[in-house]
Amino acid sequence: MLFHHTPVLFDEVMTWLRPGPGVWCDGTLGGGGHSEGILRLAGQGASLYGIDRDERAIAAASERLAAFPGFHALRGNFHDVKALLASEGVTALDGALLDLGVSSPQLDEAERGFSYHEDAPLDMRMDTSSPLTAADLLNTWDERELARILRDYAEEKWAARIAKIICERRITKPLTTTGDLVACVDAAIPKAVRRKDDGHPARRTFQAVRIAVNDELDPLDKALCDFADLLKPGGRLCVITFHSLEDRIVKRCFQRLQDPCTCPPSFPVCVCGRKPSVKVLAGGAVKPSPEEVGRNPRARSALLRVCEKLEVS
C-alpha cells in the first residue's frame, strides 16, 4: 500500500516529547512516521496507540509498524480520545502528539478531492465512511452558511461573493468536481486580485470546506483538554498546526490550562481556587528549520506548541 508521508518537525517533536518507557498516543497517526520515531526512541516495553479516521492510513501504518509489538492502531477520531483509549483499558499517558495537517497521501490522491490542482470528485472526507462529502455541503448548505465557513475557517475576504456564485451555479448544474469549485472561486475573485495572490486563489476555499466536512475546529478545544487531562505529571503534549485558526485555538487552550484563574485583575489574591494543570514550554511556537522547508515545502506553515502536565494537588 502506498501511503508515503514525510513527518513534519520530526526532530523537534522527538526532542520535546522525550519518548521513553511508558504509554504514548499519536492522535493523528497518518503514515506512522512520528509514531515510528516515538517507538524507536521509547524502546522495548513501550506502548503506543495510534488513532486515525482514515482506514488507508490505519492499514499503511499498521504495516509499517508491524515490527513493534507495542503498537496499537485505533480507527476513530482523536476528538474521542478518552473513549477510544478507555476501550483499550488505558486511562493515563506519558505523552501524546497531534499533527493537525492533512497528510501528503490525502493531498496527492486526486480521487480524495482535497487538492485544487487536480480535477476530481468533491469528496474531502478523512473518514470515507462519513456521510457528508464536500459535494453535499456545497450543493445543499445555504448561501449565508457557506459564506460563514469561508470567513470563519479560512479568513477568505471574498467569502460572500464566492458563496453567492456557488449558489447561483448549482441551480443549473450541481457542483461535482474540484474543478467546479475552482471555477466558482475564479469567477468570484477579480483577475487582478488573483494575479497578486502569493498562492493558489482557491486554497482558502478548499481549506474551509475541508474543515467543515471533517468538523475539525469546533471540537478541538475539548479534545486538547482531554489529552492534557490524560497526561501523567511530567507528560507532554505536542501539537502541530498548519494554519492560524488551529494555532490560535491551541495557543489559547494551553494558556488557559496554564493560567485558569477567573478572578478579576483587581483582586490582590486568587479566590477562585483554580490551579494550573500544565506548563507551556518552548517559549511559544516552534517553527521548522529553513533546511526542512527546503526539503519539504509543505512544512513551511507548520508550528509546534508543547505543554507539560503539572502535579495537581
137-196 confidence digits (pLDDT tens): 999 999 999 999 999 999 999 999 999 999 999 999 999 999 999 999 999 999 988 888
Domain at 10-100+217-309, CATH from 3.40.50.150, 3.30.420.40, 3.40.50.10860, 3.40.50.720: 3.40.50.150
One-letter amino acid at 112 equals: R
On the question of pLDDT at 18 being above 60, the answer is yes
User: CA nearest 49: which of 91, 111, 6, 5?
Assistant: 91
- Tell me the whole-structure pTM to 2 decimals: 0.89
Class of domain 106-214: mainly alpha
105-138 confidence digits (pLDDT tens): 666 667 788 889 889 999 999 988 899 999 999 9
pLDDT at 306: 98
pLDDT at 111: 76
| DSSP string for residues in 194-252 | HHH-SS-TTHHHHHHHHHHHHT-STTHHHHHHHHHHHEEEEEEEEEEESSHHHHHHHHH
Cα–Cα distances in angstroms (integers) from residue 160 to residues 207, 243, 257, in the given order? 16, 21, 36
- Structural domain boundaries of the chain? 10-100+217-309, 106-214
* Cα separation, 116 vs 157, whole angstroms: 19
pLDDT at 1: 42
